[in-house]
Structure 1
Amino acid sequence: MNSIVRIAPQADADFRAAMRHLVGGVSVITVGRGSEISGMTVTSVSSLAVDPPSVIVSINRGASSWPLLQSERAFGVNIPAADQLEIVERFAGKGGLKGAERFAGADWRKRITGVPLLVGALAAIDCEVEEIIERHSHAIVIGRVLHLDVGPTAAALAYWQGGYVAVDRDEDMARLAALSVPNPPSRS
């Protein structure tokens, strides 16, 4: 039995506030080919399986990139380095840029599907759409990985409490070590 749950306006605000506590990995989804390209910043990418390599991304069906993803049936998952924050913000809509304008000022390459993949990203994954499951305002897109480029290890970006946070394993581990309480001496 399926039931529909309606959330009151205040509950909607509470839900958004609750989700701000969830730390999300930042990715730039790219779609389209040639001059018909677009993209968006998301925190909804996850691995689905290793065999075959596949990912899941949740996409708002109201996004300007949605029609291109539906028609082209291919997309890129670009996991940016922390020093690529300007690109992330551009694809999140900062500055009001749309479509191909968002790609300016960065280097892009194409692999099997022809969608733009970010040069210098921690990882750039070329995917073909395997399945789309539409639910509510969003669609769950399952993508089969056709090619991936893995960049050098560097600081990554996370999204938390409405802002971007750089995560650097080496620097953050050193900070944690400096703040940690030493182990008490053992009693023999």
Structure 2
Amino acid sequence: MGKMIDAAAFRNAMAQLGAAVNVVTTDGPSGLAGVTASAVCSVTDAPPTLLVCINRGSSAHPVFERNGVLCVNTLAAHQDGISDHFAGRSGLSGAKRFEGIDWQRLLTGAPVLAGAGAAFDARIVKRVEHGTHSVFFAEVLAISPSAPDTGGLIYYGRRYHPVGHLRRQQPKMA
């Protein structure tokens, strides 16, 4: 086996891997919580399942674990401020992060962000721990329709970047 990879070198290399930006939320008997996550992907469409990685050191982690439900809100191109807010850059934590933002609910009761590119309302069916994170496998029970023409938001090179087609008003012909 080769030598151990330095953690900082690994993070620097991962900064070159663009990823969709999501706010993952939960609500239930253990309370309301949400985090920003880029480690989210589809697993299978039968049954529709996502995986979501959450740091076990996060104060939100046990809330997700105990509630057993989550909603992956894929952020639209203009929602980078919401990402920063749920990443803890606003100084707020817990339920206070949800104040002043428009939320809806679907089947599980986990908050669905109004205007998100897409939202996947799901129940956690399995958890695997690896290193500093838990990998939650979540079976999707409902999907909120995508907001039209919002584009998407990715994180690349330690910065946000809008992607996708944003509808622009065409100039009128004379």
Question: Structures share a fold, TM > 0.5?
Answer: yes
Higher-Rg member (1/2): 1
Any stretches of 5+ residues in structure 1 without a counterpart? 172-188
1 CA distance for matches of 2:149 and 2:29? 30
**Within the alignment, does 1:141 sit opposite 2:136 as a pair?**
yes
2 CA distance for matches of 1:74 and 1:66? 12
**Within the alignment, does 1:168 sit opposite 2:164 as a pair?**
yes
Contact 1:128-1:144 within 8 A present in 2 as well: yes
Classify 1:129/1:6 alpha carbon distance in 2 versus 1 (closer, same or farther; 3 Å): farther
1:67 alignment partner in structure 2: 62
2:150 alignment partner in structure 1: 154
| Aligned partner of 1:40 among 17, 35, 52 | 35
1 CA distance for matches of 2:105 and 2:63? 16
Any stretches of 5+ residues in structure 2 without a counterpart? 168-174
| Aligned partner of 1:12 among 7, 10, 14 | 7
**Structure 1 residue 77, shift from structure 2 partner:** 0.2
What number of residue pairs does the alignment pair up?
Answer: 166
**Structure 1 residue 142, shift from structure 2 partner:** 0.3
2 CA distance for matches of 1:26 and 1:136? 22
**Structure 1 residue 104, shift from structure 2 partner:** 1.6
Contact 2:102-2:113 within 8 A present in 1 as well: yes
Opposite residue 101 of structure 1, the aligned amino acid is K
1 CA distance for matches of 2:136 and 2:4? 25
Alignment of 1:112-151 (within 5 A): 112-151=107-146
Contact 1:35-1:100 within 8 A present in 2 as well: no
Opposite residue 61 of structure 2, the aligned amino acid is W
Contact 2:29-2:67 within 8 A present in 1 as well: no
Opposite residue 90 of structure 1, the aligned amino acid is H
| SS of equivalent residue, structure 1 residue 33 | coil
Percent identity, aligned pairs only, is 36
| Aligned partner of 2:104 among 109, 114, 117 | 109
Classify 1:111/1:170 alpha carbon distance in 2 versus 1 (closer, same or farther; 3 Å): closer
| SS of equivalent residue, structure 2 residue 97 | helix
TM-score for both structures, normalised by structure 1: 0.82
| SS of equivalent residue, structure 2 residue 33 | strand
Opposite residue 83 of structure 1, the aligned amino acid is H
2 CA distance for matches of 1:101 and 1:70? 20
